[in-house]
Amino acid sequence: MTTTLTSAVKPRAEDSFAITFAPLSLEEIYAKSDDPANGAVVVMSGMVRNQTDGKPVIALEYQAYEPMALRIFYQIAADIRLSMSDVNRVAIYHRVGRLRVGEISVLVAVGSPHRSEAFEACQYAIDTLKHNAPIWKKEHWQDGSSTWVSIGACETSGENC
Protein backbone atom coordinates (compact mmCIF):
# COMPACT_ATOMS: atom_id res chain seq x y z
CA MET A 1 0.00 0.00 0.00
CA THR A 2 1.22 3.47 -0.84
CA THR A 3 0.04 6.71 0.66
CA THR A 4 -0.29 9.61 -1.74
CA LEU A 5 -1.92 12.95 -1.12
CA THR A 6 -2.40 14.02 -4.73
CA SER A 7 -6.13 14.57 -4.25
CA ALA A 8 -8.32 15.22 -1.27
CA VAL A 9 -9.75 11.96 0.07
CA LYS A 10 -13.14 12.24 1.74
CA PRO A 11 -13.78 10.06 4.77
CA ARG A 12 -16.48 7.42 4.53
CA ALA A 13 -19.51 7.95 6.74
CA GLU A 14 -18.99 4.60 8.50
CA ASP A 15 -15.42 5.50 9.51
CA SER A 16 -14.37 7.72 12.39
CA PHE A 17 -11.31 9.94 12.89
CA ALA A 18 -10.24 12.57 15.41
CA ILE A 19 -7.42 14.56 16.93
CA THR A 20 -8.58 15.41 20.44
CA PHE A 21 -7.57 16.74 23.86
CA ALA A 22 -10.15 14.45 25.49
CA PRO A 23 -9.15 11.10 26.97
CA LEU A 24 -9.63 8.21 24.55
CA SER A 25 -12.11 5.43 25.28
CA LEU A 26 -11.46 1.85 24.16
CA GLU A 27 -15.18 1.11 24.39
CA GLU A 28 -16.12 4.10 22.23
CA ILE A 29 -13.56 3.31 19.50
CA TYR A 30 -14.51 -0.37 19.54
CA ALA A 31 -18.17 0.57 19.10
CA LYS A 32 -17.29 2.87 16.18
CA SER A 33 -15.49 -0.06 14.51
CA ASP A 34 -18.18 -2.65 15.09
CA ASP A 35 -20.58 -3.75 12.37
CA PRO A 36 -22.93 -6.74 12.05
CA ALA A 37 -20.85 -8.02 9.10
CA ASN A 38 -17.65 -8.12 11.18
CA GLY A 39 -16.06 -11.35 12.22
CA ALA A 40 -13.24 -9.41 13.90
CA VAL A 41 -12.43 -6.02 15.37
CA VAL A 42 -8.74 -5.40 16.01
CA VAL A 43 -7.84 -2.48 18.28
CA MET A 44 -4.34 -1.10 18.80
CA SER A 45 -3.90 1.07 21.87
CA GLY A 46 -0.74 3.17 22.18
CA MET A 47 0.03 4.28 25.71
CA VAL A 48 2.50 6.54 27.49
CA ARG A 49 5.16 4.32 29.01
CA ASN A 50 7.37 5.14 31.99
CA GLN A 51 10.71 5.07 30.14
CA THR A 52 12.44 5.49 26.80
CA ASP A 53 15.72 3.65 26.31
CA GLY A 54 15.93 3.17 30.09
CA LYS A 55 15.51 6.90 30.84
CA PRO A 56 12.54 7.61 33.18
CA VAL A 57 9.63 9.45 31.52
CA ILE A 58 6.98 11.22 33.61
CA ALA A 59 4.77 12.54 30.77
CA LEU A 60 4.45 13.05 27.02
CA GLU A 61 3.10 16.13 25.31
CA TYR A 62 1.63 15.75 21.82
CA GLN A 63 1.03 18.40 19.18
CA ALA A 64 -0.42 17.89 15.72
CA TYR A 65 -1.14 19.82 12.58
CA GLU A 66 -4.76 18.70 12.69
CA PRO A 67 -6.00 19.39 9.12
CA MET A 68 -3.11 17.49 7.56
CA ALA A 69 -3.15 14.72 10.17
CA LEU A 70 -6.83 14.07 9.49
CA ARG A 71 -6.15 13.97 5.73
CA ILE A 72 -3.47 11.35 6.43
CA PHE A 73 -5.98 9.36 8.53
CA TYR A 74 -8.54 9.51 5.65
CA GLN A 75 -5.88 8.39 3.17
CA ILE A 76 -4.86 5.48 5.41
CA ALA A 77 -8.48 4.24 5.43
CA ALA A 78 -8.73 4.69 1.64
CA ASP A 79 -5.47 2.76 1.12
CA ILE A 80 -6.72 -0.06 3.36
CA ARG A 81 -9.88 -0.37 1.30
CA LEU A 82 -7.93 -0.46 -1.97
CA SER A 83 -6.07 -3.59 -0.88
CA MET A 84 -8.65 -5.12 1.51
CA SER A 85 -12.10 -4.40 0.14
CA ASP A 86 -13.88 -6.40 2.88
CA VAL A 87 -12.88 -3.97 5.65
CA ASN A 88 -16.10 -2.51 7.08
CA ARG A 89 -14.92 0.16 9.50
CA VAL A 90 -11.77 2.12 10.32
CA ALA A 91 -11.35 4.36 13.37
CA ILE A 92 -8.22 6.39 14.09
CA TYR A 93 -8.03 8.70 17.11
CA HIS A 94 -4.97 10.52 18.48
CA ARG A 95 -4.71 12.68 21.57
CA VAL A 96 -2.87 15.96 21.84
CA GLY A 97 -1.80 17.80 24.96
CA ARG A 98 0.03 16.52 28.02
CA LEU A 99 -0.49 12.86 28.93
CA ARG A 100 0.68 11.02 32.02
CA VAL A 101 2.23 7.55 32.13
CA GLY A 102 -0.46 4.95 31.46
CA GLU A 103 -2.78 7.23 29.46
CA ILE A 104 -3.81 6.22 25.94
CA SER A 105 -2.29 8.43 23.24
CA VAL A 106 -3.61 6.69 20.12
CA LEU A 107 -6.33 4.20 19.24
CA VAL A 108 -6.65 2.48 15.88
CA ALA A 109 -9.48 0.02 15.29
CA VAL A 110 -10.45 -1.94 12.19
CA GLY A 111 -13.57 -4.05 11.71
CA SER A 112 -13.63 -6.75 9.05
CA PRO A 113 -15.31 -10.08 8.30
CA HIS A 114 -11.96 -11.86 8.77
CA ARG A 115 -9.32 -11.50 11.49
CA SER A 116 -6.32 -11.66 9.13
CA GLU A 117 -7.51 -8.57 7.23
CA ALA A 118 -8.35 -6.76 10.45
CA PHE A 119 -4.88 -7.43 11.89
CA GLU A 120 -3.11 -6.45 8.67
CA ALA A 121 -5.16 -3.28 8.24
CA CYS A 122 -4.67 -2.22 11.86
CA GLN A 123 -0.91 -2.68 11.65
CA TYR A 124 -0.76 -0.78 8.35
CA ALA A 125 -2.81 2.05 9.88
CA ILE A 126 -0.63 2.57 12.97
CA ASP A 127 2.65 2.15 11.08
CA THR A 128 1.59 4.62 8.38
CA LEU A 129 0.21 7.09 10.93
CA LYS A 130 3.48 7.08 12.85
CA HIS A 131 5.49 7.54 9.67
CA ASN A 132 3.35 10.13 7.84
CA ALA A 133 1.11 12.09 10.20
CA PRO A 134 2.33 15.52 11.34
CA ILE A 135 2.24 14.64 15.04
CA TRP A 136 5.06 15.44 17.42
CA LYS A 137 5.70 14.42 20.99
CA LYS A 138 7.71 16.01 23.73
CA GLU A 139 9.13 13.59 26.25
CA HIS A 140 9.23 14.98 29.79
CA TRP A 141 11.99 13.28 31.76
CA GLN A 142 12.12 12.59 35.48
CA ASP A 143 15.17 14.89 35.80
CA GLY A 144 13.07 17.89 34.66
CA SER A 145 14.43 18.07 31.10
CA SER A 146 12.38 17.46 27.95
CA THR A 147 12.94 16.62 24.29
CA TRP A 148 10.72 17.04 21.20
CA VAL A 149 10.57 14.01 18.91
CA SER A 150 8.79 13.67 15.56
CA ILE A 151 6.88 10.40 15.61
CA GLY A 152 8.00 9.74 12.03
CA ALA A 153 11.62 10.12 13.14
CA CYS A 154 11.09 7.24 15.55
CA GLU A 155 10.15 4.96 12.69
CA THR A 156 12.94 6.01 10.33
CA SER A 157 15.62 5.78 13.01
CA GLY A 158 14.57 2.24 13.85
CA GLU A 159 13.61 3.22 17.40
CA ASN A 160 10.32 2.04 18.80
CA CYS A 161 9.03 5.30 20.26
pLDDT in tens, the chain (161 residues): 444 455 578 888 999 999 999 999 999 999 999 999 999 999 999 999 999 999 999 999 999 999 999 999 999 999 999 999 999 999 999 999 999 999 999 999 999 999 999 999 999 999 999 999 999 999 999 999 999 986 554 445 555 55
Looking only at the bridges linking them, the beta strands covering 16-20 and 89-95 are: parallel
Q: 75-95 burial, b for 16+ CB within 10 Å, e for fewer?
A: bbbbbbbeebeebbbbbbbbb
How far, in Å, are 33, 40, 89, 124 from residue 86 at the CA level?
13, 11, 9, 15
86, 94, 135 from 23: Cα distances, Å: 30, 9, 17
**pTM of the predicted model as reported, rounded to 2 decimal places:** 0.88
